[in-house]
Structure 1
Amino acid sequence: MKALILVGGFGTRLRPLTLSVPKPLVEFANKPMILHQIEALKAIGVTEVILAINYQPQVMINFLKEYEAKLGIKISCSQEPEPLGTAGPLALAKGKLNDGSGEPFFVLNSDVICEYPLREMIEFHKSHGGEASIMVTKVDEPSKYGVVVMDEESGKVERFVEKPKTYVGNKINAGIYLMNPSVIQRVQLRPTSIEKEVFPQIAAEQNLYAMVSKGFWMDIGQPSDYIKGLRLYLDSLRKRSSPMLATGPHIVGNVLVHETAVIGEGCLIGPDVAIGPSCVVEIGVRLSRCTVMRAVRIKKHACISSSIIGAQSTIGQWARIDNMTVLGEDVQVSDEIYSNGGVVLPHKEIKSSILKPEIVM
């Protein structure tokens, strides 16, 4: 079985993190976000993952070669000469996807994090006999999204309504699809949208079905959703009694600490924190609702909440980082600095406080 992961795009919403690495390689819960997907696909028997790449292809290819051997799964690339949207990549990769077996294949958006009920999706797809299945998730504010209107019993998709003004349903496209090879014949090799062009056509022929995802779901393509997604992911680990979660007198709630990280005395860590490899957290540090990426040094008595700290950065002693601050790679924050929602580009030194949300170039 094969899968196509859509990794095109420049990751503009996650800048400055994506100025150093392509978005799928940005770490989420101590591993590149795309690795969560590849591992889930491998677990249900997918033997080849094809990456539809447009931006920084060589970086992606070099990085994932090591995981190809580690995971024992073939990882190949389909390089777009120009951005092809969400449907064009299917036409570009048709030689890889349609191997003559007639077997359905998965398509995933690269910035979706969830519990990946892929085995259930295969069973669902077999049961209805349609041409394609899409995963949908329930949301509290459907007016912000494109809503999937479906028959509740059969799962048959009736239509799509973009940002409805009046209530038509509360289920939205979750960015995970399972489709028969025949879908590829519907797609032209040009920039085109699977959601706006291909799926409505299949739905009109009563051949598209939707499976409601159980468990959490989040598109982590922007900082506030990334932080929310981390909370949901860690909560999911807690519900499964995962041994990955940290324990100890200095831990509050759900916390992930890489085995190579060093944490000093008198710290209070959590809830909803991920601390990456080779990090050093000095004495008396307070961390909550934040991600600290690899090789970060946090000096004594610093306080970080609701923020993302890029790799190899240093936070000075008694500094306070707050309100969805996002630091790019190798940012040096001086002692006693306050950042209130600052977005700081890589390789910068912050010597004066950022008192209101702003971008530091």
Structure 2
Amino acid sequence: MLKAVILVGGPQKGTRFRPLSLDTPKPLFPVAGRPIVQHHIEACVKVKDLKEILIIGFYAIAQMEKFISEMQALYDDVIIRYLQEFTPLGTAGGMYHFRDQIRSGNPKAFFVLNGDVCADFPLQSLYDFHASRASESLITIMSTEATHQQSVNYGCLVIQRETGRVSHYVEKPSSYVSTFINCGVYVCSTEVFPKLAAIFHSKANESHFCLNGNGKDQGHIRWEQDVLTPLAGTNKLYALPVPNWWSQVKTAGSCIYANRHYLELYKETHPERLVNAGFKDDGGDGSSHLICNIYPDVHIHATASVHPTATLGPNVSIGPGVKIGPGVRIRESIVLENAVIQDHTLVLHSIIGKESVIGPWARVEGTPTDPDPNKPFAKMENPSLFNSEGKLNPSITILGSRVNVPIAKIVLNSIVLPHKELNRNYKNEIIL
């Protein structure tokens, strides 16, 4: 038997994801028509012998229980549970706190997936690699290769290419260490828990750690710094470099990139989720009707209403209950639940919040920097909100929930918090 642990953090984290996280927990934000963490679950249920998925975080149970119930009904062959931390416990503290639940049933190993990554998760290959070294490896890391400049923003690994052993690990080093980086996806042997116990007790003995000024108690354990770094060079830590697509989702803007790639993956994994031919089954007699002009890849929820003269794509996701009027053009964007896009509106490189209304002939547009297409890793960047001059970086435009953009107004490279009535044009602004 195998298990999986998905670490979703809590509302005290992910502030760069605002305003989208103000009314939806970040793990439940829809990318390519599915909550971010559902993509993790879908990858896990494909693994042979995986019987249980434990989602660990500091979100209130009330915020997660509806989603968990839906997932359990959808994937009834696997047990899916949410375990709420009593306080934020760090990237490894939650695993140690719920060690009995993870070890219950005596699994051969368990996956650990960070909730803020998106990927074509090669979990079976990762497990097979780990199992082939089970006599030695406590943890196997999924790794990918970055450029020299980008690598310092991630956990860097020095890997022995012949064996896969990790001889050195540094989290966000101050200078270049290696182009191989940590993807935040792991396979762990249950023998890792004595290591976590040793870390827990050593921290408990440090007087400055117990309920200190930072508000951290002795259960707070950092996976990367407290576990991975000391294990490197002991022949207990391995890594498997993979060529698969991977990205972090730290900022709201990074959802556009993740949306693009999940839609592309749907061609192989879930082609029924795409409306790539411009036709849609009416659900009655099996006939189809023209829904709109389509440039693949596009996902449209079954309850959305799209005028036949609208043009969508490439890389567009339309949520439930959305209404799109005649002559609308949408590209590289996510439109969330019950939003209304009125006649002849242009939406480019943007996220439109729930129940927002964009009036006729309006423009909502972002201008993300286009990385070198020959360096696909460059697209994974999560740029800071402001540049060195204090100005808003070129980015996608984000409208929070229930924002009203009047007729013929332009919103360019801006972030709008929820419940705003815009009365003029905006460019490179944050509307509070």
Q: Shorter-chain TM-score: what band?
A: over 0.9
Structure 1 counterpart of 2:245, one-letter code: F
Q: Distance in 1 between matches of 2:154 and 2:305?
A: 42
What residue ranges of structure 1 are gaps of 5+ in the alignment?
Answer: none
1:130-279 aligned within 5 A: 130-140=137-147, 141-164=150-173, 167-187=176-196, 188=200, 190-238=219-267, 242-246=271-275, 247-248=277-278, 250-279=293-322
Shift of residue 124, structure 1, vs aligned partner:
0.6
The aligned residue for residue 345 of structure 2 is: 302
The range that moved more, 92-101 or 299-308, is 92-101
Contact conserved, 1:216 with 1:236, CA < 8 A, in 2? no
Q: Secondary structure at the match of 2:262?
A: helix
Shift of residue 91, structure 1, vs aligned partner:
0.9
Shift of residue 328, structure 1, vs aligned partner:
1.6
Q: 1:102 to 1:55 in 2, by over 3 A?
A: closer
Q: Distance in 2 between matches of 1:82 and 1:241?
A: 37
Shift of residue 194, structure 1, vs aligned partner:
0.6
What residue ranges of structure 2 are gaps of 5+ in the alignment?
Answer: 201-217, 279-291, 367-395
Is 1:19 aligned with 2:22? yes
CA deviation profile, 1:37-92 (whole Å, cap 9, x unmatched): 11211121422211212133321123312321221132223221221110101111
Is 1:315 aligned with 2:358? yes
The aligned residue for residue 83 of structure 1 is: 88
Q: Distance in 2 between matches of 1:162 and 1:36?
A: 26
The range that moved more, 29-38 or 334-343, is 334-343
Q: Distance in 1 between matches of 2:269 and 2:243?
A: 14
Q: Distance in 1 between matches of 2:270 and 2:185?
A: 26
Q: Secondary structure at the match of 2:9?
A: coil
Structure 1 counterpart of 2:315, one-letter code: D
Contact conserved, 1:156 with 1:210, CA < 8 A, in 2? yes
1:95-114 aligned within 5 A: 95-99=100-104, 101-114=106-119
The range that moved more, 256-265 or 282-291, is 256-265
Tell me the number of residue pairs that the alignment of Structure 1 and Structure 2 aligns: 360
The range that moved more, 262-271 or 282-291, is 262-271
Q: Distance in 1 between matches of 2:105 and 2:316?
A: 46
Shift of residue 104, structure 1, vs aligned partner:
0.6
Q: Secondary structure at the match of 1:335?
A: coil
Shift of residue 273, structure 1, vs aligned partner:
1.0
Q: Which among 26, 36, 39 is matched to residue 36 of structure 1?
A: 39
Contact conserved, 2:68 with 2:81, CA < 8 A, in 1? no
Is 1:127 aligned with 2:199? no
Shift of residue 134, structure 1, vs aligned partner:
1.0
Q: Distance in 1 between matches of 2:296 and 2:35?
A: 23
Q: Distance in 2 between matches of 1:231 and 1:211?
A: 25
Q: Which among 71, 75, 80 is matched to residue 71 of structure 1?
A: 75
Shift of residue 252, structure 1, vs aligned partner:
1.7
Q: Distance in 2 between matches of 1:166 and 1:221?
A: 22
The aligned residue for residue 288 of structure 2 is: none
Q: 1:334 to 1:56 in 2, by over 3 A?
A: farther
The aligned residue for residue 5 of structure 2 is: 4
Shift of residue 284, structure 1, vs aligned partner:
0.6
Taking structure 1 as the reference length, the TM-score comes to: 0.94
Q: Distance in 1 between matches of 2:271 and 2:55?
A: 29
Report the RMSD for the aligned CA atoms in angstroms: 1.9
Q: Distance in 2 between matches of 1:78 and 1:163?
A: 29
Q: Which among 273, 277, 286 is matched to residue 329 of structure 2?
A: 286
The aligned residue for residue 415 of structure 2 is: 343
Shift of residue 233, structure 1, vs aligned partner:
2.1
- Percent same amino acid at aligned positions? 34
The range that moved more, 145-154 or 286-295, is 145-154
Q: Distance in 2 between matches of 1:67 and 1:87?
A: 24
Shift of residue 162, structure 1, vs aligned partner:
4.0
Shift of residue 239, structure 1, vs aligned partner:
6.2
Shift of residue 165, structure 1, vs aligned partner:
6.0
Shift of residue 166, structure 1, vs aligned partner:
5.5
Whichever of the two has the greater Rg, that structure is 2
Structure 2 counterpart of 1:199, one-letter code: L
Q: Distance in 2 between matches of 1:79 and 1:259?
A: 33
Contact conserved, 1:30 with 1:293, CA < 8 A, in 2? no
Q: 1:219 to 1:285 in 2, by over 3 A?
A: same
Q: 1:154 to 1:36 in 2, by over 3 A?
A: same
Q: Distance in 2 between matches of 1:113 and 1:66?
A: 21
The aligned residue for residue 403 of structure 2 is: 331
Q: Distance in 2 between matches of 1:344 and 1:293?
A: 15
Contact conserved, 2:410 with 2:426, CA < 8 A, in 1? yes
Q: Distance in 1 between matches of 2:171 and 2:106?
A: 35
